[in-house]
Structures are given as structure tokens and as C-alpha cells.
Amino acid sequence: MTIRTALGCALIIASAGPTLAGEVGPVADTMATEYPNEKIGPRVLNVEPNVPPASGKLLEKQGKWLNDHGVSPHLSMTEIYLRNPSVGLDTGNHEALTIFAIGADFNLDKLVSLPGGTIHFEQLYVPWTSNLTYGGQVGDVIAGKPGPYIPRVSHLSLFTYEQKLMDDKLAIEVGKSNAGNYFGLPLCNVPLGCVNAILQDTAGINPPPYANWGARVGYDFSSALRAQVGAWRSNNAYPFTNGWERDAGDSGGTLSTVYLANLAYRTDYRMEAYPQTLEVLGFHNNGQQTDPYYTVNGTSKVTDSSAESDTSKGVSGFYLGAKKTVWRQDGGKTNDPTPTAVAAYASLTHTLDEDTTNGVGTQGNAGLILSAPFRSRPFDSYSVNVNWAQLTSREQRFLEEAHAASGGGSYNPGRNEYAVSLDANFILTDSIVVSPFVLRTWGASSWLNPYTGVNPRDGYAAGLLFHVQFDEMLGLNPHH
């Protein structure tokens, strides 16, 4: 294995998370130059350096000229390396991906004198992959689902027109994007630590980098409080799309529509001494659901394979998330933008329907993030993260019978799976982040590979994520 493939990135992880607790100063995303709720688009799902940028960079003058003329380029390389030494159905495997993101934001006020208008664009290239079957080799919801399956090299991940009105309080955006850029933003320290299978599959948001036709409307009641509604077309065969399709294309997928509404309150250290995040999200997908267990005859689809699976119309659910800085070494008495602090977070996602195709009924996530414990490294963070996933009772019955039908005998796991992980973000420069993690599972299932006849093992998984923001490194984004 080469060094190149032995590193990992966070850009496209299906459940990714926002930047470090205690974000300081204007962040790297040009869509987020003021407040936490401004940070939208694919880069909200990626840990980015929040170090004030150094001066004298190679293309700093060119970057300023571009920005003055309304163009903010984005160029990054992200890599991911995952390994399952002892957990899952087939242990001792690894997955590696290398991803390049190229795009830009076009400020139409500066370009064509259209106040409040912006075009967002981003194209992803995944030229090098290794072992895309890793997720099925692990098999479970918590350690297996985060393993990205990206069989195509090129993906349109963002192409939208955004119009802001009413002194920028109202935002309307239409085009190709991923709904996870705006709704249900994870709270954990490292994006891989809280991938949400319910939002991605049941709700139909689809994992990043997969973009769908959609529209959203957001209104800022204040710099911290935002309400949004949105609707996206969803393709359940998303691994085989490239984002440029006008409809299902040649992916073989079934299209549905996901409707989303949320209310989010987010602050940072510029706004209060003990920042907090609260988000309430409801979803409904109108697509046909295939029952995990029953056929149209009311029998098991494992034992009655000649009958078609039972189906139903639509699925609904909700997401609740909260995060709060609960301790500061300085007692909150200073204006330090990167204090030594501890933040606590928790989230819960639940599906209201038992017969959902996905088969995951509830997911929970909680943890603690320690920021800047060493004053010589004020931008690093460390975290302990706890995950819980519960399968629906129908999914559990299906897994038990599929296991027995494959010659596996008694199926050991129950409906509940738990995991504890440790992770960290090491901010090496103002453009490079390295994020290692290790997790231990209990109750791992064969959810992603039910007919193996092998009882999944509890154990350890690990990974290393690596992100280089070349636009910052070269000075192409002067307002970091």
C-alpha cells in the first residue's frame, strides 16, 4: 500500500460534521464569513483548519483579484483510509479513496451587478479507489455504513443558484445539491464518527457527494436562529449517478421526493462565552417502501421467495440535535477565540414507520469534545463519541432468517448495536487537517450483507482522515 492510499479524508463522508467546537474568526468557506448559520454547501460537512491565514502565499495577489471580481475558487484533496482488524463479517480488510474537489462561488453582484445572487459549483474526482466492498465486509450500521462506495470517477456535487433578499435574511436556492449540506448537520468532532443511515437512506438525502435536484428556502430571524424548508429528488441507486442526470438516467434507480423542515440555533465564541447548537428537523419521503420482512401474502420473503415483497407509500421521521460548551478553563471571563474548553453534544434520529426499506429504526449519538487542551496547539481537538443504532423488528426477523437460510444457524446479534470511539483533529497548518480515529463495537449486525451465513464479530475499526485545502494553501481565498 502506498503512502498516498494510506491516508484518508472527510469530504464525502455521509455523515460528516461541522468544524471544530469553538470556531474562531471568519471561516474558510466563502459562504460563511460572518456567523455559524452562514456555513452551507459541501464544505460544511468537512473539518477545515480554522487557523488565521498566513500572508505572502504564492497566489495571494491573484486570489485577491479574483475575489474582488466576484470569484472564490475551491480546490482541495481529501483522502480516506479505513480498516477493520477485528470487527464485522470479514475482518482484516481496508478501504482507501483519494478525492479531488474543484469548484468556485460566483458573486453575481460583483460580476453582473445582481445584488444577493450567487452561483455555487463543485465537481468531485475520485481517481484512485481501493476495495469499495469494505462496507459489506464489515456489514453493520455504525462501522460498515461509513465505508463509502463510490464506483464512478466523476461527480457533480454542487451546482445551484442562490438569491438572498430582505437584507440577506431570506435565502432561496435551487439546483443540484445534497440536502445534507443544509439539514441535520452532525455535531461530532470527526465526520466519520456520526454517519446517519436514517437521514441518508430512509429520508433519501443520499450520502455526499451525491447531488440531486432540489430547492430550499431559509430565513434568518437573527444571526443565530434560522428556519428552513426544502425538497429534493432522491435516487435510491445513488452510487451509480454522477450528478449530471436530468432524471434517473441510466443508474437504474427509483426516484422519490424528500421534504425537509428545520429550525436551528447556532452560536460560536464570537457571539457568546458558552456557544450552543440546537436543531429540530422533520422529514417525509414519498417513495415506495419495500418491507424488510413481509411479502404481499403476509409471509417471510426469505421462506416464501416466490411472492413479491409487501410495499407501502412514504416514510416519515425526525432528527433532534444539541451541542453546548459546558466548561472553559478561563471561566468564560476572557475574549480568547480558542479557549481550552469542553463541549457536550447529543442527537437522536427516529423513523416513525416500521416497514421502512432501510430497516434502521433509531440512531443516537453523544459525546464530549475537548478543544485546545495544549495552549501551544490552540486549534486541535479531541473527542470521545458514543453511537447507538437500533434495527426495526421486521429488519431483525429478516436478518435472523436470512442467516439461517444461508447455513449460518443461530443468529447472535440483537436489534441494538453500540460503539465507542476516540478521535482527534490535528490542525497542522491553515490548510491541512489530519484526523485519526478508533472505535469499538458491541452487537454488530450483518445489515449490509445478510446472506453470508457468518455471525458478525464485535471488535475494533480504525481510520485516518486527511484533508488539504489547496485554495487556502495557495492564497486563492484571501478572506479565510
Residue 439: per-residue pLDDT: 97
User: Tens digits of per-residue pLDDT, 378-407?
Assistant: 999 999 999 999 999 999 999 999 999 999
Amino acid symbol at 443: G
Task: State pLDDT tens for residues 27-81.
Answer: 333 333 457 777 667 766 677 777 887 888 999 999 999 999 999 999 999 999 9
Query: Which pLDDT does position 436 carry in this prediction?
Result: 96
Look up residue 150 and give its three cell numbers. 463510490
* CA 164 to each of CA 87, 109, 198, 287, 361: distance values in angstroms, whole numbers, following the listed order: 48, 11, 31, 31, 37
- Return the pLDDT at 27: 30
Neighbouring CB atoms inside 10 A of 368's CB total 17
What are the pLDDT digits (tens) for 122-131?
Answer: 999 999 999 9
- Poorest-pLDDT segment among 33-37, 296-300, 442-446: 33-37
pLDDT of 298 higher than 50: yes
Residues 6+ apart with CB under 8 A from 26: 32, 33, 34, 479, 480
Domains, the chain, in order of start with CATH, read: 4-474 (2.40.160.180)
Instruction: Enter the pTM of the model.
Output: 0.91
Mean of the per-residue pLDDT values for the chain? 90
Q: Is the pLDDT of residue 480 over 60?
A: no
pLDDT of residue 47: 79
Give the pLDDT of residue 17. Answer: 30
Q: What is the pLDDT at residue 55?
A: 85
Q: Buried (b) or exposed (e) across 184-218, using 16+ Cβ within 10 A? A: bbbbbbbbbbbbbbbbbbbbbbbbbbbbbbbebeb
Note the pLDDT of residue 195: 94
Q: Which tens digits make up the pLDDT trace of 317-363?
A: 999 999 999 999 999 999 999 999 999 999 999 999 989 999 999 99
- DSSP β-ladder status, 93-107 and 71-84: antiparallel
